[in-house]
Amino acid sequence: MKQVYFDNAATTPMRDAVIERMADVMRLQYGNASSTHGVGRSAKSLMETSRKTIASFLNVHASEIVFTAGGTEADNLVLRSAVRDLGVTEIITSKLEHHAVLYTVEHLQKQYPITVTYVKVLENGAVDINDLERLLQSSNKKLVSLMHINNEIGNKLDIQKVATLCKANKALFHSDTVQSVGHYDLDLQAIPIDFLAASAHKFHGPKGVGFAFIRKGSGIKASIFGGEQERGYRAGTEAIHNIVGMEEALKLSYANLETERSHILELKTYFIVQLKALSPGMSFNGGCENSEESTYTLINVCLPIAVEKGGMLHFQLDLKGIACSKGSACQSGSNQNSHVLSEILSADNLLKPSVRFSFSSFNSKAEVDYVIEVLREFI
């Protein structure tokens, strides 16, 4: 059976060079980075080289990079400590954020006397910057948490504008950049952001590793206790092979950024044209049809199919070997509607099947053509 993988927003296939690099580390550099003997020091040196490399791509100091198990842990580390240790009494976020942020914020609201305010979003899913500016006028100690690239509809936040606005209003700014690190250049000397989260498996690296950027002098403290690893932010023996794999994946992503971005954008544009030709009732969720408003890596399409038939769409696509998603992978096993689409779609469109197709440089036009044929036959 033909296999087509269009679910790269959920996870990406690892590059061969990353696998080989990790295998070498597992075979030869198996030391504990906290050990003081030669084998341990060698592992430590590898890890710190990776930290410096990753920091260089963001134009930050190596000490501002904290290795985690992924984006979810990085989000939790920052949000929890901001309330617990930094005295934040109001969190401003949106209802379109990843659940790693939304659920953490909800939990914090139950634990601490904080206010949670949700910024308005426009019909296309974009954050209402004017409303954000209004919300920032409050006298509370504030933290704004808004993702750079929405993982379901692909909308891009003007991260530079939001960061500058937050700084002008003395608010801390945290961004989940899981869908953008490795896909966009982020100069954090130019962007006055305080915290961000990233995950290696979104840019062809291994699962189970990511990092938080924590601006120097922020006051963020540990959420996991035990040892003094990661400068006390995160106890636990570091997975050197994963960290080195993440470094290798990020190096290759940025080395090939322009070429791969051009290829993926061409695929996305071609896919949109083919979908429109397939049916006049085809519509696109959020701003994903507009390359200025959305990332080049995904589309989220609402198909003009009757409710009764629409329930079989994902089963049919899977049967034909097509991997895609009805929302984020974190909720694809749920019968509930996407929380993102529920906020921006009309009641009628919410009943129709929506599919997220997300791309990488491993994809081809031939794969797009195959998906179009399967959809044509189904419709």
Domains of the chain: 4-12+256-378 (3.90.1150.10), 16-255 (3.40.640.10)
Q: Mind listing the pLDDT tens digit for each residue in 294-349?
A: 999 999 999 999 888 888 999 999 999 999 998 544 444 445 679 999 999 999 89
Which whole number is the average pLDDT over 202-229? 94
Quick one: pLDDT band at residue 261, thresholds 50, 70, 90?
very high
What pLDDT does residue 328 have? 44
- For residue 304, report the phi and psi dihedrals to the nearest 5 degrees: -80, 70
What pLDDT does residue 327 have? 55
Q: 73-82, 138-147, 157-166, 231-240: which range is least confident on average?
A: 231-240
Of 183, 117, 123, the closest CA to residue 149 belongs to 183
The C-alpha angle with vertex 73 and arms to 334 and 201, in degrees rounded to 5, equals: 75
- For residue 19, report the phi and psi dihedrals to the nearest 5 degrees: -60, -45
Mean pLDDT across the chain, nearest whole number?
A: 94
Q: Mind listing the pLDDT tens digit for each residue in 8-20?
A: 999 999 999 999 9
Q: Count CB atoms within 10 A of the CB of residue 262.
A: 12
Distance CA(281)–CA(276), nearest Å, equals: 8
What pLDDT does residue 77 have? 97
Distance CA(39)–CA(30), nearest Å, equals: 8
Q: Mind listing the pLDDT tens digit for each residue in 83-109?
A: 999 999 999 999 999 999 999 999 999
Q: 35-49, 167-181, 299-313: which range is least confident on average?
A: 299-313
Which whole number is the average pLDDT over 67-79? 97
Quick one: pLDDT band at residue 209, thresholds 50, 70, 90?
very high
What pLDDT does residue 335 have? 54
Residue with tokens 């099947």: 353
* Rounded alpha-carbon distances, angstroms, from residue 152 to 65, 207, 233, 287, 296: 27, 20, 30, 11, 13
Which whole number is the average pLDDT over 264-289? 96
Beta bridge partners of 155: 294
| Proportion of the chain above pLDDT 70, given as a percent | 97
What pLDDT does residue 332 have? 45
Quick one: pLDDT band at residue 232, thresholds 50, 70, 90?
confident
Distance CA(127)–CA(132), nearest Å, equals: 8
Please identify every residue annotated as catalytic.
330
Residue with tokens 């080195």: 244
What pLDDT does residue 222 have? 87
Quick one: pLDDT band at residue 278, thresholds 50, 70, 90?
very high
